[in-house]
């Protein structure tokens, strides 16, 4: 595979159409750590394609990310669910991180829903609760864009989609998500810094995908599942297994939330 990232996305989208027989998709869901099982509640899978079978995709190496692309019919919409994602800390560069959302848009998607597992900084958030992302802090020092690509990020997370999510569940809080490069968890001092900067949540994904999706013209909704309290805010160490366990315990709740949001789109 050669050429620009856009050409790579179009090549992958063409292969996806060939394998699934679906000409166009409407909505893409990127399922973060702990969210994959929630996809089962969206509807019966029409097709499943391993990332490794599509040009340009790097299968994720993180536990809890299966590396499968699932096509689901939800009402009148064709939904593309990415069961896992590639993270920046896996070392494949920014193009690999955002190749999925670029492929989705090339396949016709106009709405991208990005989910993740996040550490809660805001003391109002309890473990196991979903939060709508209102804005972000990009602390990765990276961008998926190169050259004079001056994309307006004033409303990265679409206000209309955020309002729709809250109409589905009026109890949903909103918060600012801070993306750190990982793979290490943050130090207590870094959490204090992020809190002072206005962050409510912290994680290692989502932000680069959101930028790429907006640059491609898609609307973006971000949803975090609070899977742990951020470092230094309680007397407990952080463990990825605990993150996955919290995700499994909350899968019914977030799965129904996602299904209701997609149906309401």
Active site residues: 186
In sequence order, the β-bridge partners of residue 27 are 79, 111
Contact criterion met (CB below 8 Å) for 72 and 47: no
Cis bond before residue 9 (omega within 30° of 0): no
Distance in angstroms (rounded) separating the CA atoms of residues 38 and 61: 20
Going from the C-alpha of 89 to that of each of 32, 46, 61, 212, 249, the distances in angstroms are 15, 32, 10, 18, 26
Alpha helices in 21-138 (DSSP H): 94-106
Tokens linked to 172:
């949903």
């Amino acid at each position: 595979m050669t050429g620009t990232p856009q050409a790579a996305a179009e090549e992958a989208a063409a292969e996806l159409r060939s394998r699934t027989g679906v000409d166009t998709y409407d909505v893409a869901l990127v399922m973060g750590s702990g969210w994959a099982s929630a996809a089962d509640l969206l509807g019966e899978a029409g097709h499943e394609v391993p990332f490794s079978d599509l040009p340009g995709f790097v299968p994720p190496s993180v536990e809890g990310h299966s590396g499968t692309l699932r096509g689901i019919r939800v009402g009148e919409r064709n939904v593309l669910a990415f069961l896992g994602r590639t993270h920046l800390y896996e070392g494949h560069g920014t193009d690999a991180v955002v190749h999925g959302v670029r492929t989705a848009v090339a396949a016709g998607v106009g709405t991208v829903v990005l989910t993740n597992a996040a550490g809660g900084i805001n003391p109002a958030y309890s473990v196991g609760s979903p939060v709508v992302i209102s804005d972000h802090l990009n602390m990765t020092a990276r961008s998926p864009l190169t050259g004079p690509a001056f994309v307006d990020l004033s409303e990265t997370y679409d206000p209309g989609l955020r309002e729709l999510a809250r109409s589905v569940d009026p109890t949903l809080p909103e918060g600012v998500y801070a993306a750190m490069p990982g793979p290490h968890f943050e130090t207590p001092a870094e959490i204090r810094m992020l809190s002072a900067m206005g962050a409510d949540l912290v994680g290692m994904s989502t932000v680069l995908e959101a930028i790429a999706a907006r640059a491609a013209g898609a609307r973006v909704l971000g949803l975090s599942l609070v899977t742990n309290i951020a470092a230094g805010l309680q007397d407990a160490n952080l463990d990825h297994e605990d993150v996955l366990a919290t995700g499994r315990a909350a899968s019914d709740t977030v799965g129904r939330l996602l299904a209701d949001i997609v149906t309401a789109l």
